[in-house]
Structure 1
């Protein structure tokens, strides 16, 4: 698997911010509720962030040599997939709610005490936390180059040394 490209996350966030702003504008024009997730979604986001961190720290500890037993490679792969999903989901939530907040910003002097504005900021903050934790745990799942592989070759006998792709993940069976 490849590392998540931060520029792709930035692009996704910008597109979703535009869509969120447009949705809030249309909802306001037609007298509909502002399309913001309820604050109870923060509980779910918190559980996902904590679970991702716990699994990521487990992989990091194994990677750094504190291994009492062999790490299940399926669990490590699931941790990586969960981290990447967390980063993408956090980007979507951050972008969407940032766009809605931009629409609410023009009415800030009139409705600064509105709960919808604080809900939007809270959900955007939760999305930011998900994105950051996802990116950090993704880095935890990278396997450093083996000793003697400073040039980036695989070092496998019988094969030519082929440089590993940037951001490549592998299972290291010590």
Structure 2
């Protein structure tokens, strides 16, 4: 599995911001409510980020601790996938609500949308937390590079290849 690239996350956030801005402009034009998530969604975002962090700490403890006890490879793979999904979902939420906030800042207090603006800013902040947790837990799932003093490039795989720094804490072979 490949590591997330920050450039892709930024691109997703920009596209989501443009779509969020266009959706807000369209809903305002037709006197519909602004498409922003309610503040109660922060609870769900916190649960997802917390669960991701808890699972990531389990992988980190195995990575930094005693490796005599085997780590369940399915748990490590699920943790990595959850971390990446958390970061992608946070990127979408941040971009969408940044687009909404941009439009609300543009129109200012014309429609009395200060509450909606704060709601969009809170949801964008929750998206930032999800991105950070996802990136940190993804880093927890990386296997540190092996010590090169012994003259080898690292542990051998089944095919005789050496493992590099991009390996995760589970064997995806």
Shorter-chain TM-score: which interval?
0.7 to 0.9
Partner of 1:34: 34
SS in 2 for 1:106: helix
Q: RMSD across aligned C-alpha pairs, in angstroms?
A: 2.6
After TM superposition, the structure 1 = structure 2 runs for residues 13-52 of structure 1, keeping only pairs within 5 Å, are: 13-52=13-52
Alpha-carbon deviation of 1:159?
6.0
Once the two structures are superposed, residues 110-130 of structure 1 have per-residue CA deviations (whole angstroms, 9 ceiling, x without a partner) of 467721111100100001100
Alpha-carbon distance in structure 2 between the residues aligned to 1:48 and 1:33: 27
8 A contact 2:143–2:168 mirrored in 1? yes
Partner of 2:168: 169
Once the two structures are superposed, residues 134-158 of structure 1 have per-residue CA deviations (whole angstroms, 9 ceiling, x without a partner) of 0010000000122338998444289
Alpha-carbon distance in structure 2 between the residues aligned to 1:149 and 1:4: 30
Alpha-carbon distance in structure 1 between the residues aligned to 2:158 and 2:95: 49
Between 24-33 and 110-119, report the one with greater CA deviation: 110-119
Alpha-carbon distance in structure 2 between the residues aligned to 1:9 and 1:101: 19
Query: Where has structure 1 moved over 6 Å in runs of 4 or more?
Result: 149-152
Structure 1, unpaired ranges of 5+? none
After TM superposition, the structure 1 = structure 2 runs for residues 16-165 of structure 1, keeping only pairs within 5 Å, are: 16-66=16-66, 69-110=69-110, 114-148=114-148, 153-156=153-156, 164=164
SS in 2 for 1:145: coil
- Indicate how the Cα distance of structure 1 residues 137 and 151 shifts in structure 2: closer, same or farther if over 3 A, else same: farther
- Indicate how the Cα distance of structure 1 residues 157 and 7 shifts in structure 2: closer, same or farther if over 3 A, else same: closer
Structure 2, unpaired ranges of 5+? none
In the comparison of the two structures, how many residue pairs are matched? 171
- Indicate how the Cα distance of structure 1 residues 63 and 162 shifts in structure 2: closer, same or farther if over 3 A, else same: closer
- Indicate how the Cα distance of structure 1 residues 162 and 96 shifts in structure 2: closer, same or farther if over 3 A, else same: same
Alpha-carbon distance in structure 1 between the residues aligned to 2:121 and 2:142: 32
SS in 1 for 2:51: helix
Once the two structures are superposed, residues 18-57 of structure 1 have per-residue CA deviations (whole angstroms, 9 ceiling, x without a partner) of 0000100010011011010111111000000110111111
Alpha-carbon deviation of 1:168?
3.0
Alpha-carbon deviation of 1:98?
0.2
